[in-house]
């Protein structure tokens, strides 16, 4: 293992790798700050660039964008009063009132330290526990994978904000889309309608770019980016005082651990982690009445949780190939494209790459700290001077080049424009988008596991209830589903 | 475009989903594969299961009231969106004929104008810089061959 770690250090501590980590974290923060875009769109847009890098460097770049994007959303919440990302909506509850009363620098300092704390704790937990959990994955057979996939989809569909029915529609539609193309077991085709390009299935990246990035551009055109205010003239991020940090140290740590734990639940996501952490912090606070008015714990709790969730979400993704959230679903898709199959074999055959990823995660958080504390004003200035009339065409050009670059096929552009309409319609009809990503990425895994399970049981569906591990997973995840739904309801009542 | 102002979408989505599920379910009977081979060979099993679930969900949506005010939103700038998509289609059709540089230049300029930019120098600068930087990053640095036009082919000396 020490040789593996040494090899990983050699990969990470090269000038090129360090520069890519810094640049990708910066880009993640920049895109995450733009209202309407966020970390998910940032990841999707940067994938075409990342795919042309070596796998280990590309994965570190994606992590930088992921981590930076989460943080950028928090900055937008505090300063602009607009959550740059859905998970930053919980941060806005206290960060924006704090900024409004003249403590914008303190808000940025708390957001930055909380994000870094959550990110570092989750990186270390990921580094220590995921190799152990990878061995547990050997016990998982097709029925267990089927249960995990279904529960992951159900979790994200049921726990997203809004209608559960619409969340499930999104998830099952994503699964259906994944069935188009050539079946990998039998080589027979489905839903190709005689189109040769569809025999390889609907390409993932153009689908994602269309559903998320193109639809965002359409919404920006329709609604406009309403940035009401400019950043305060004297925006100087301030380090939180030692006394304050010591007073709320338990909030930092508890929220980070909660974020990792919730992130490890397939499909739960950082929005859930942020809200649950906020609710817990308020419940345990000696001054709960201050929440919603600029309480320091109210800023720290959701930010630590949503950044910690990133590491947690990577645990099931790397060990079981089940993404913990939509962002890791995209990363999983990227791993598949690069021929890296998550599971115990990945740790055995590409251990140096994985440890490079973990170390890279630590460095991304360090980069985020310095960019956040010393570069926030520049970031916000860049945002202010960029006109919408320039941003939208450049965004569309970038996604076009991105979609085209994968297979140099014009057909992929048609797929992207088509799913742009689908994504736009989903936004207008309030059908949540994250479940469709999980559906598309998990579809092939779920189908193969489902069919193998039925083949094992000669067609009987009771195999999912007679295998102890599968049944245990069903019960565990149902308990978590009810607990998180109950906690969210309780938190909504209290806030 | 009056239909785009309809504010209660749930029944419409529900009916559309039901129709889609029924049609797609019927289409699964056209899949060409050996019948009776069991779960591993039955490629229609999984899609049919999904379509049945979507059918049920469409039915549930039919009767779901739009309790969230946001569910009653309508499409407001349909002219802009339609014009944008006409531009997207024109751009995609022109790519193999005029090549990336010419198609992208005019397309970016068009989008700039469409979203409200009226200063010509900003439109031209955005189109020029966007196209050349995009060409440099993808064609030159990443080595991804961008479309060359069959009718007109321009490349940059980089």
Residues A436-454 have a mean pLDDT of: 87
Choose among A49, A176, A189: nearest Cβ to B50.
A176
Is the pLDDT at A495 greater than 50? The verdict is no
B17 in a structural domain: yes
Please count the other Cβ atoms lying within 10 Å of the Cβ belonging to residue A144.
23
| Total count of domains within chain B | 2
Gyration radius of chain B's alpha carbons? 24
Whether pLDDT at A455 is above 80? yes
Both tokens assigned to B139 = 């064609």
Q: Would you state the structure tokens that stand for residue B61, as one six-digit string?
A: 């949506």
* Residue A15 main-chain phi, psi, to 5 deg: -55, -45
Q: How many CA atoms lie within 13 A of A128 on its CB side?
A: 7
CB of A187 less than 8 A from some CB of B: no
Query: What's the pLDDT tens digit per position in A197-216?
Result: 888 889 888 888 888 888 88
| From A397, A430, A451, residue closest to B130, measured CB to CB | A397
Pair (B86, B37) in one structural domain: no
Which pLDDT does position A114 carry in this prediction?
A: 94
Q: Per the domain annotation, does B16 fall within a domain?
A: yes
Per-residue pLDDT at B3: 45
Euclidean distance between CA atoms B83 and B123, whole angstroms: 17
Between residues A391 and A86, the one the model is more confident about: A391
The model's confidence at residue A394, banded by pLDDT at 50, 70 and 90, is confident
In a 10 Å sphere around its CB, with 0-12 CB exposed, 13-18 middle and 19+ buried, how is residue A408 labelled?
Answer: exposed
User: B9: nearest CA in chain A?
Assistant: A429
Task: With beta carbons under 8 A apart, name residues in chain A contacting B11.
Answer: none
pLDDT at B1 over 50: no
Distance in angstroms (rounded) separating the CA atoms of residues A176 and A439 = 8
Are B30 and B89 found together in one domain?
no
Rounded to 5 degrees, what are φ and ψ at A182? -95, 130
Structurally, chain A folds into a number of domains equal to 1
Nearest to B132 by CA among A268, A394, A125: A394
Contacts of B138 in chain A (CB under 8 A): 401, 405
Domain-ending residue, one of B54, B72, B90: B72
Q: Residue B40: give the domain boundaries.
A: 2-72
Is B31 contained in some domain? yes
The whole-angstrom separation of Cα A125 and Cα A130 is: 8
Cβ-defined contact of B134 to A190 (cutoff 8 Å): no
Q: Is A390 on the interface with B (CB under 8 A)?
A: yes
Query: Does residue A63 sit at the B interface (CB-CB below 8 Å)?
Result: no
Question: Taken in order A352, A353, A358, A363, is the CA torsion positive or negative?
Answer: positive
Give the residue from chain B lying closest to A404, CA to CA: B146
3-state helix, strand, coil in chain B (%, to 5): 65, 0, 35
Q: Which of B25, B47, B63, B135 to substitute to test the interface with A, most A CBs within 10 Å?
A: B47
Which of A238, A271, A232 has the alpha carbon at shortest distance from A112? A238
- B43 and B94 inside one domain: no
Digit-coded pLDDT (tens) for A113-171: 999 999 999 999 998 888 887 777 778 888 988 888 887 777 777 666 567 888 889 99
DSSP alpha helices (H): ranges in A34-103?
38-50, 55-75, 89-98
Is residue B146 situated within a structural domain? no
Q: In this predicted structure, which of A429-433, A446-450, B63-67, B116-120 has the lowest mean pLDDT?
A: B63-67
What does the longest C-alpha to C-alpha distance in chain B come to?
Answer: 67
Cα A347 to Cα A355: distance, rounded to the nearest angstrom: 9
Q: At what angle do helices A15-33 and A38-50 cross, to 10 degrees?
A: 140
Distance CA B128, CA B120 (A): 12
Residue with tokens 């504390």: A373
Q: Is A49 exposed, middle or buried (CB count within 10 Å of its CB: 0-12, 13-18, 19+)?
A: buried
Interface of A with B in 413-442 (CB under 8 A): 413-414, 417, 421, 424, 428-431
Q: Cβ–Cβ of A430/B71 closer than 8 Å?
A: yes
Q: Could you tell me if residue B137 is inside a domain?
A: yes
The residue segments making up the domain with residue A297 are 2-494
Q: Which of B57, B76, B127, B139 to mutate to probe the A interface, most A CBs <10 Å?
A: B57
**Shared domain check, B67 and B6:** yes
Please determine, for residue A33, whether its predicted confidence score (pLDDT) is greater than 60.
yes
**β-bridge partners, A190:** A181
For residues B25 and B40, state if they share a domain: yes
In a domain, B158, yes or no: no
ipTM for the predicted complex: 0.87
Q: How far apart are CA A400 and CA A209, in angstroms?
A: 9
**pLDDT of B152:** 65
Closest by Cα among A373, A351, A436 to A130:
A351
Q: Is residue B14 part of a domain?
A: yes
């Amino acid at each position: 293992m020490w040789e593996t770690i040494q090899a990983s250090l050699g990969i990470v501590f090269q000038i090129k790798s360090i520069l890519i980590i810094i640049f990708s974290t910066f880009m993640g923060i920049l895109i995450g700050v733009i209202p309407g875009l966020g970390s998910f769109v940032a990841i999707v847009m940067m994938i075409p660039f990342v795919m042309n890098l070596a796998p280990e460097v590309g994965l570190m770049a994606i992590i930088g964008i992921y981590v930076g994007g989460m943080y950028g959303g928090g900055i937008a919440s505090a300063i602009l009063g607009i959550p740059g990302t859905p998970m930053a909506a919980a941060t806005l509850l206290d960060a924006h009132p704090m900024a409004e009363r003249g403590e914008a620098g303190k808000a940025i300092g708390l957001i930055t330290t909380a994000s870094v704390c959550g990110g570092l704790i989750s990186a270390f937990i990921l580094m220590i526990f995921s190799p152990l959990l990878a061995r547990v994955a050997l016990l998982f057979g097709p029925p267990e994978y089927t249960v995990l996939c279904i529960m992951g989809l159900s979790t994200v569909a049921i726990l997203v904000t809004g209608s559960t029915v619409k969340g499930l529609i999104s998830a099952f539609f994503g699964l259906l889309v994944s069935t188009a193309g050539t079946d990998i077991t039998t080589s027979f085709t489905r839903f190709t309608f005689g189109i040769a390009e569809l025999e390889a299935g609907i390409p993932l990246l153009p689908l994602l770019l269309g559903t998320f990035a193109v639809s965002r551009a359409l919404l920006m055109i329709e609604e406009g980016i309403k940035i009401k205010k400019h950043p305060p003239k004297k925006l100087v991020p301030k380090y939180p005082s030692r006394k304050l940090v010591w007073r709320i140290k338990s909030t930092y740590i508890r929220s980070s651990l909660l974020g990792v734990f919730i992130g490890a639940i397939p499909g739960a996501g950082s929005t859930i982690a942020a809200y649950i952490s906020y609710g817990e912090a308020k419940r345990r606070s000696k001054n709960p009445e201050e929440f919603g008015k600029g309480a320091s714990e109210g800023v720290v709790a959701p930010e630590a949780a949503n950044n910690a969730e990133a590491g947690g979400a990577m645990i099931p993704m790397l060990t079981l190939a089940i993404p913990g959230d939509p962002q890791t679903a995209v990363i999983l898709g990227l791993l598949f494209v690069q021929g890296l199959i998550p599971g115990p074999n990945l740790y055995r055959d590409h251990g140096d790459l994985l440890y490079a990823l973990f170390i890279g995660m630590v460095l991304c958080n360090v980069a985020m700290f310095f960019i956040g504390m010393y570069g926030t004003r520049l970031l916000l200035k860049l945002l202010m001077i960029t006109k919408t009339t320039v941003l939208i065409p450049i965004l569309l050009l970038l996604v076009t080049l991105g979609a085209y670059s994968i297979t140099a096929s014009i057909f992929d552009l048609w797929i992207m424009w088509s799913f742009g309409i689908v994504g736009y319609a989903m936004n207008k009809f309030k059908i949540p988008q994250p479940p469709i990503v999980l559906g598309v990425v998990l579809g092939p895994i779920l189908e193969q596991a489902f069919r193998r399970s039925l083949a094992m049981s000669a067609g009987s569906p009771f195999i999912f209830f007679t295998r102890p591990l599968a049944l245990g997973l069903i019960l565990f995840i149902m308990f978590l589903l009810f607990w998180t739904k109950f906690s969210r309801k309780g938190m909504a009542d209290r806030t | 475009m009056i239909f785009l102002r309809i504010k209660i979408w749930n029944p419409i989505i529900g009916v559309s989903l039901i129709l889609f599920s029924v049609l797609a379910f019927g289409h699964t009977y056209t899949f060409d594969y050996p019948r009776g081979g069991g779960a591993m060979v039955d490629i229609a099993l999984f899609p049919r299961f999904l379509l049945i679930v979507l059918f049920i969900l469409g039915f549930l949506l039919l009767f779901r009231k739009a309790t969230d005010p946001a569910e009653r939103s309508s499409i407001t700038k349909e002219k802009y969106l339609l014009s944008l998509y006409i531009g997207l289609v024109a751009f995609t059709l022109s790519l193999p004929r005029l090549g990336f540089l010419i198609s992208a230049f005019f397309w970016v300029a068009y989008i700039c104008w469409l979203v409200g930019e009226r200063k010509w120098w900003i439109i031209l600068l955005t189109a020029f810089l966007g196209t050349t930087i995009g060409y440099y990053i993808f064609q030159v640095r990443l080595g991804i061959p961008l479309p060359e036009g069959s009718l007109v082919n321009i490349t940059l000396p980089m």
